[in-house]
Amino acid sequence: MKVKSIVIGGVMLLCAGAAVFGLNKLHSDSGGGDPDDQPTEENVTPVINVQTSAVQRVTLHQYVTAFGTIEPAPATADQPSAGGPLAAPSAGVVARVAVVAGQHVNKGDVLVELNSSSATFDYAKAEVERQRKLFADQNTSAKNLADAEAQLASLQLIAPVSGTVTRVMARAGQAVDASTVLVEVVDLDRLAVSASIPAANASQLKTNQEVQVLTDPPVTTSLYFISPSIEAADGTVLSHALVPADSGLRPGQFVPLRIVTAVHTNILAVPEESVVTDEDNKSFIVLVKGNEAAQKPVTTGVRENGLVEIEAPDLKPGDTVVTTGAYGFPEKAKISVGNAGETSEAESPTNSAPEK
């Protein structure tokens, strides 16, 4: 009986030892071991998931953007104005409207006939013809002929240019004065875009700079007039650019435009989201080398189509930069590149293709 008790006691001791060993093993595996054997926050290198692009060598443009209105071309040293609204030559009553909208007219054609309190158009016209015959027979003076022609001129609205009648506001029997607009005639082959540019940007403008009218399709022309004065009402400077005859633009059309004020060729550029500007207004990019990335200070320039010009020592085309994830990037960290929905370890700069 005594031997049996000893055997049972030994078995129980063995079981207790095994239980203690198992608990110690479980505690060790779950991180409950010696604190000196556990990884600390200082010796764990974070891996940041980013997307990348490449430094490109490109040509970028600098623009002044505005909105403009298509108008008849203003007078130049070589040509008169391309037309516009025409007012009555004097006070009177409209006797006849000789044109309709859309009609082509030649310079000198009669558009509207008037009657006045002193004479009708028909009487004035007949008197001019009579005076011319008398003058040819030397039976009247040049003054009488000039007076008759002046009276007729005051009773007829004449087309100043050859072009198209774009609007007719006159109607027979209408009482008018010398400020009443009756007809609009425009040479549709001679149009211009007129734009008011904020004075702060006007210093960048020069004649012959390229102007891009952003219609569909776009129209390209050049700047030919910049006003030397500033409009006091809105602080803008008026500019004009002639548009090609086959542009398809129409008088009165409101259009967006941009003027190319500078062209930067053969420069380095990266996507705009690659450049981070800190609270001190200093800019940097995150440059990828192997499976690590670090900040690199840059100087920025022209921006166009999602790209920004950058300058920095030792920077070259094809260098890989972080796009998504650049903001808030630590000074230096390991990265995992996840372009186009795929995540892979970046082992060299060539692993990241430029974004299209």
The CATH number given to whatever domain includes residue 281 is 2.40.420.20
Condensed to tens digits (0 to 9), the pLDDT of residues 100-123 reads 999 999 999 999 999 999 999 999
Q: Lowest-confidence range among 74-88, 107-121, 160-174? A: 74-88
126 in any annotated domain: yes
**Domain count along the chain:** 3
251 in any annotated domain: yes
Same domain? 271 vs 323 = yes
In this prediction, residue 350 carries a pLDDT of 37
Same domain? 170 vs 195 = no
Same domain? 294 vs 199 = no
Same domain? 106 vs 152 = yes
Mean pLDDT of the chain: 85
In this prediction, residue 294 carries a pLDDT of 86
1 has a pLDDT exceeding 70: no
Secondary structure, 3-state, the chain: CHHHHHHHHHHHHHHHHHHHHHHHHHHHHCCCCCHHHCCCCCCCCCEEEECEEECEEEEEEEEEEEEEEEEECCCCCCCCCCEEEEECCCCEEEEEECCCCCCEECCCCEEEEEECCCCCHHHHHHHHHHHHHHHHCCCCCHHHHHHHHHHHHCCEEECCCCEEEEEECCCCCCEECCCCEEEEEECCCCEEEEEEEEHHHHCCCCCCCEEEECCCCCEEEECCEECCCCECCCCEEEEEEEECCCCCCCCCCEEEEEEEEEEEEEEEEEEHHHCEECCCCCEEEEEEECCEEEEEEEEEEEEECCEEEEECCCCCCCCEEECCCCCCCCCEEEEEECHHHCCEECCCHHHCCCCC
76 in any annotated domain: no
Same domain? 101 vs 168 = yes
78 in any annotated domain: no
CA distances from 257 to 207, 208, 223, 247 (A): 16, 15, 12, 14
309 in any annotated domain: yes
Same domain? 199 vs 243 = yes
27 in any annotated domain: no
Confidence of residue 348 (pLDDT cuts 50, 70, 90): very low
Same domain? 178 vs 200 = no
Condensed to tens digits (0 to 9), the pLDDT of residues 222-274 reads 999 999 999 999 999 999 999 999 899 999 999 999 999 999 999 999 999 99
**90 vs 334, more confident:** 90
In this prediction, residue 355 carries a pLDDT of 39
Q: Lowest-confidence range among 45-54, 80-89, 131-140? A: 45-54
Unique residue bearing structure tokens 């095994």: 18
Among 207, 238, 263, which residue terminates a domain? 263
Same domain? 66 vs 196 = yes
In this prediction, residue 71 carries a pLDDT of 96
Same domain? 138 vs 281 = no
Among 186, 209, 226, which residue terminates a domain? 186
Same domain? 182 vs 101 = yes
CATH number at residue 251: 2.40.30.170
Among 128, 163, 186, which residue terminates a domain? 186
CATH number at residue 89: 2.40.50.100
pTM of the model: 0.70
In this prediction, residue 121 carries a pLDDT of 96
120 in any annotated domain: yes
Same domain? 293 vs 335 = yes
Condensed to tens digits (0 to 9), the pLDDT of residues 41-80 reads 555 556 778 789 999 999 999 999 999 999 999 988 888 9
In this prediction, residue 21 carries a pLDDT of 55
In this prediction, residue 40 carries a pLDDT of 53
335 has a pLDDT exceeding 80: no
244 in any annotated domain: yes
Same domain? 325 vs 180 = no
Range of the domain at 276: 47-56+266-351
